Structure 1
Amino acid sequence: LVEYIVRKAPYRSKVEKLFKEAATGKLKLYVSYVTLSETLYVASRIYQVAKVSDPNNEALNYIMWLKRQVEVIGIDENIALRAGELKKLLHIALPDCYVIATAETLHATPLFKKIEKEMKPVQDTLRKLGVKFLEETP
């Protein structure tokens, strides 16, 4: 999601395309509260590095805009427990496990920017779980 705020980010155009398709009803975008909080943190850091005068407020503005583009999904007990099971199985970042668990609950596709270092040993399992990566999309 933060790819969208960095003009020269390698996958920005792909994220922009997803937002456009969602706006026309071609697809539905979901974000969990865990992803929303992580996005707020990373966006604030990006704005800080870019020397934006009020990086925290700018990050909050981005989150408010984002919430109008996607459906924010709450974390329930089933998602939380599934994320824990995925953490035990995959040994990847817990927020990433929440993305997968939330997508499973919604029968949606979990989407990540790229295969992170910690994902490489389990990428076959991730693919079996339906995970897609922006770096591999046309």
Structure 2
Amino acid sequence: MKKKKLEELLNANSKVYVLDTSVLVEYLDKSSPLARKVEVIFKKALNRELTLYTTSLALAETLYVTSKFYKAMGVAKPNDEALNYIIWLKEYVGLKVGNIDEMLALKIGELKKKLGIALTDCSIVAYALELKGTAL
């Protein structure tokens, strides 16, 4: 599966985006060239120009990766900061979290067999297909 450029995906007609851990964490790395693009996505969500989702599995992974990121940056309480970031995403940015039920779990498993990518990535693709949105 080829990865499309973020710009191409943002120019798609979709108003629904399902965000992977890498997108959610990229925002924190201000030195990353993609951080600014993620900021644009978040601002569009704040302006209700689009709706952002993730899966409960990706949310768990985001908490873990964010905590490691904050620890590497020397933050005094990396776990607390990671949780604060999750709360900020949900309450301020408006990130919605979809739970993985049995049917979605089976779709994720089928995608894992077909695509051979990480299970969390498969959850994003499966949920985007379910919502008729765009996986990022």
- What is aligned with 2:79? 56
Q: Which has the higher helix share?
A: 1
Pairwise CA distance, 1:96: 0.3
1:96 matched to 2:96? The reply is no
Q: What residue identity is the alignment partner of 1:27?
A: L
1:10-29 matches, within 5 Å, as: 10-29=33-52
- What is aligned with 1:118? none
1:28-107 matches, within 5 Å, as: 28-68=51-91, 69=93, 70-107=95-132
Aligned positions, number: 111
Higher relative contact order (CA 8 A, sep 6+): 2
Once residues 89 and 57 of structure 2 are traced to their aligned partners in structure 1, the CA distance between those partners, rounded to angstroms, is: 14
Out of 41-50 and 72-81, give the one that drifted further: 72-81
| Unmatched tracts of structure 1, length 5 or more | 112-138
- Percent sequence identity is 50
Structure 2 SS opposite 1:72: strand
Once residues 79 and 108 of structure 1 are traced to their aligned partners in structure 2, the CA distance between those partners, rounded to angstroms, is: 15
Structure 1 SS opposite 2:85: helix
Structure 1 SS opposite 2:30: coil
Question: What does the per-residue CA deviation read over 1:50-103, in whole Å, with 9 as the maximum and x for residues that have no partner?
Answer: 000000000000011111221111111121000000000011100000000111
| TM-score, normalised with respect to structure 2 | 0.79
4+ residue segments displaced more than 3 Å: none
Structure 2 SS opposite 1:29: strand
Q: What residue identity is the alignment partner of 2:102?
A: E
| Unmatched tracts of structure 2, length 5 or more | 1-23
Question: What does the per-residue CA deviation read over 1:13-43, in whole Å, with 9 as the maximum and x for residues that have no partner?
Answer: 1100000001111111101111111110110
Q: What residue identity is the alignment partner of 1:90?
A: L
